[in-house]
Amino acid sequence: MDRLGFIGVGRMGGPMARRLLADGYALTVYDTSEAAVQALVEAGATAAGSIAEVAAVAETVLVSLPTPAIVEAVALGPNGIAASGGKVKNFVDLSTTGPRVAASIAEGLAKKGIAAVDCPVSGGINGAVKGTLAVMVACDRHLFQRLQPVVENFGKVFFIGEKPGMGQTMKLINNLLSAAGMAIACEGVVMGAKAGLDPATMIDVINAGSGMNTATRDKFPKSILPRTFDFGFAMGLMYKDVKLCLEEADALGVPMWVANSVRELWAVANTRLGPDADFTAVIKCVEQWADVEVKPTR
């Protein structure tokens, strides 16, 4: 395959770009962070000074960006991919935007002869580094087969369907379940701590039983029990994903009784702790309400 482009090489995009370089792809990168770009240049990438410069040299451009608005601007804005012309023919969006935004971007890009590949990923920074992400792809099946060797660098690839937005719907459902698991695990462990149980023992028991989820398996041992709150995913991004999922459920007419309560907790945590806080810090809100701190005694 010809040279690839990569826009947005921060916490998630940077490790994914590195995996492409390690697999031998020629890569041109752009980010608003000069430091992020320079780190990849030192690994063998070529720096671009603008989105247009990426589009000029790469037939396939991958993007990993934090919000739907930024993805839309990069794809369809006055200085974006669609307006830049150049060599670009495929736009692979690894971000989480929601299905309606994905469909709108696909429609806008199609007018310029550019194919949109709806390709969100799940698994966090650690998964991006190790190449163990879940990669959810929605696009024309023939295009999927052509791009599959590229995205396989990021992890396990799933073809979700041909309709733009189908990958986004899958990603939002996944992240809702993750957010719900974190929320209920925090409430349960805080309850136990208030009753005098040792939090570390609780996590060991839960992980050996039927209550285990990814929060108790990964987030509690690595970031909550040590009180480091450094798992690597922002509070604001988790709240955004839950909010997007509930908006899509509402548009589909699907009742989400439990999920609405989950959204309320993340909304409060996002306001109180700030969108830049690590999402594992959500437990601090539950602790404050219960007047207890989850801290191991052994």
- Would you name the residues annotated as active-site residues? 171
Q: Are residues 21 and 71 located together in one domain of the fold? A: yes
- Per the domain annotation, does 18 fall within a domain? yes
Q: Write down which residue in 110, 145, 162 finishes a domain.
A: 162
The answer as to whether 221 is a domain residue is yes
Confidence of residue 1 (pLDDT cuts 50, 70, 90): low
DSSP for the chain reads ---EEEE--STTHHHHHHHHHHTT--EEEE-S-HHHHHHHHTTT-EE-SSHHHHHHH-SEEEE--SSHHHHHHHHHSTTSHHHH-TT--EEEE-S---HHHHHHHHHHHHTTT-EEEE--EESHHHHHHHT-EEEEEES-HHHHHHHHHHHTTTEEEEEEESSTTHHHHHHHHHHHHHHHHHHHHHHHHHHHHHTT--HHHHHHHHHHSTT--HIIIIIIIIIITTT---SS-BHHHHHHHHHHHHHHHHHHT---HHHHHHHHHHHHHHHHH-TTSBGGGGHHHHHHHHT-------
Total domains, the chain: 2
The per-residue pLDDT for range 70-89, each reduced to its tens digit, is: 999 999 999 999 998 789 99
CATH of the domain at 42: 3.40.50.720
Residue 210 lies inside a defined structural domain of this protein: yes
The predicted-structure confidence for 152-175, as pLDDT tens digits, reads as follows: 999 999 999 999 999 999 999 999
Question: Which of 117, 134, 162 delimits the end of a domain?
Answer: 162
- Look at residue 231 and tell me if it is in a domain: yes
Let me know whether 50 and 177 are in one domain.
no
What's the mean pLDDT in 94-102?
A: 95
Among 162, 189, 223, the domain-final residue is 162
Domain of residue 245: give its range. 169-290
Asked whether residue 296 is domain-assigned, the answer is no
The model carries a pTM of 0.92
- The pLDDT-based confidence of 296 (bands split at 50, 70, 90) is confident
- Would you state the pLDDT for residue 291? 98
pLDDT of 298 higher than 80 = no
CATH number, domain with residue 212? 1.10.1040.10
pLDDT at 207 over 90: yes
Q: Are residues 66 and 156 in the same domain?
A: yes
113 and 221 share one domain: no
**Do 144 and 41 have their domain in common?**
yes
Residue 295 lies in a domain: no
Task: Quick: pLDDT tens for 240-251.
Answer: 999 999 999 999
Q: Is residue 238 part of a domain?
A: yes
Q: Do 264 and 143 fall within a single domain? A: no
Mean pLDDT rounded to a whole number for the chain: 96
- Does the pLDDT of residue 230 top 70, yes or no? yes
Domain assignment present for 58: yes
Does residue 197 share a domain with residue 149?
no
